[in-house]
């Protein structure tokens, strides 16, 4: 079997984690009181967002060490398995570099892929890796296919504000100011390793309309692949997104997934959006 390894920024579901040969290397979150917890599920996602709301300052996230990846690789080596490693975007975190450094110090063959995305965008790539493994591809063939596939991953979301992304250093101040005008809700997009201000709207209803327009502008949803409705702390916000997908795009059965602590630190509360695979360019 081929081991599929990722980091906790992928926000894998319980169903993903139940697949054989899947391993997650956790990232860490440090709160205002200097308490550090691993993003390994022991603190639930709801508990994290409660903590985030009550903290006087933004938590800090930190990448796994090379040693943490070496441990995951050693487990694969003991099982006689090669490994395909999918990390959060290298421009957003040093996790990719940790994974690459660790790969230099093990004997088993390890293929490390910069997903160029995060959260359920990263999870979509993990699920594609599992599908390709089921088809019988080698680790090298899976890695080669994923390098192409990742270019089609898109995330678009409405966030309550850009302050968390700005404080976390993920967007510049000029973008945060534009997206933070009075009464305006920003729409962000993540693809090609970059968080962008993709649109904005008057209040949440206007921002949702702007977000739905982005689904086409970012290439349209390839219905051969599942898409995912994301939310941070308020699950009911996912409802209108499901309604639009089902009624306007005739896409039913989209997964609903909560954003975890690592990415939740940066997007903040009341976020909702869609992760999808864009149609192949003609």
Profile the chain (282 residues) by mean pLDDT over runs of 10 residues: 97 96 96 91 92 87 96 96 98 96 94 98 98 98 98 95 66 54 82 91 93 97 96 96 97 95 92 97 74
Helix extents (H) in 92-202:
95-103, 119-134, 139-149, 163-167, 173-179
Which stretch of DSSP H or E encloses residue 197?
A: strand 194-202
Q: pTM of the entire structure? A: 0.94
What was the pLDDT predicted at 177? 54
SS3 content of the chain, % helix, strand, coil (to 5): 40, 25, 35
Residues of the chain with CATH 3.30.1180.10: 152-277
What was the pLDDT predicted at 22? 98
What was the pLDDT predicted at 173? 56
What was the pLDDT predicted at 184? 82
What was the pLDDT predicted at 277? 98
What was the pLDDT predicted at 181? 56
Tell me: domain 152-277, CATH 3.30.1180.10, correct?
Answer: yes
| Cα 19 from Cα 150, distance rounded (Å) | 21
CA dist 15 → 11, 20, 108, 245 (Å): 11, 11, 27, 23
Please enumerate in sequence order all residues whose Cβ is within 8 A of that of 5, keeping only pairs 6 or more positions apart, or say none. 22, 23, 24, 25, 69, 72, 73, 76, 83, 84, 85, 86
What was the pLDDT predicted at 150? 98
| Cα 242 from Cα 19, distance rounded (Å) | 26
> Contact 25/68 with Cβ under 8 angstroms?
yes
What was the pLDDT predicted at 160? 85
Which stretch of DSSP H or E encloses residue 245?
A: helix 238-248
| Cα 188 from Cα 179, distance rounded (Å) | 9
Residues of the chain with CATH 3.40.50.10170: 3-151
Answer CATH for 3-151 from 1.20.200.10, 3.30.160.270, 3.40.50.10170, 3.40.50.720: 3.40.50.10170
What was the pLDDT predicted at 167? 62
What was the pLDDT predicted at 82? 97
Strands 194-202 and 184-191: antiparallel
């Amino acid at each position: 079997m081929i081991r599929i390894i990722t980091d906790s920024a992928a926000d894998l579901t319980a169903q993903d984690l139940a697949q054989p040969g899947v391993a997650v290397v956790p990232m860490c979150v440090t709160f205002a009181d200097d308490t550090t917890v691993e993003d390994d599920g022991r603190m639930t996602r709801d508990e994290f967002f409660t903590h985030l709301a009550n903290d006087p300052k933004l938590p800090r996230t930190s990448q796994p060490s090379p040693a943490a990846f070496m441990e995951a690789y050693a487990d694969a080596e003991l099982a006689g398995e090669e490994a395909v490693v999918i990390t959060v975007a290298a421009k957003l975190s040093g996790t990719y570099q940790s994974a690459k450094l660790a790969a230099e110090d093990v004997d088993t063959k390890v293929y490390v892929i910069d997903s160029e995305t995060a959260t359920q965008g990263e999870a979509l790539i993990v699920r594609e890796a599992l599908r390709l493994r089921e088809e019988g591809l080698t680790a090298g063939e899976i890695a080669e296919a994923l390098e192409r596939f990742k270019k089609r991953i898109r995330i678009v979301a409405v966030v309550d504000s850009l302050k968390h992304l700005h404080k976390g250093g993920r967007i510049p101040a000029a973008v945060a100011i534009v997206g933070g005008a009075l009464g305006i809700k920003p729409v962000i997009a993540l693809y090609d390793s970059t968080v962008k201000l993709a649109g904005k709207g008057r209040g949440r209803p206007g921002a949702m309309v702007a977000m739905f327009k982005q689904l086409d502008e970012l290439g349209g949803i390839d219905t051969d692949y599942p898409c995912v409705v994301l939310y941070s702390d308020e699950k009911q916000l996912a409802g209108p997104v499901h309604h639009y997908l089902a009624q306007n795009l005739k896409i039913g059965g989209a997964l609903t997934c909560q954003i975890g602590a690592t990415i939740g630190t940066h997007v903040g509360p009341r976020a909702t959006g869609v992760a999808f695979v864009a149609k192949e360019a003609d």
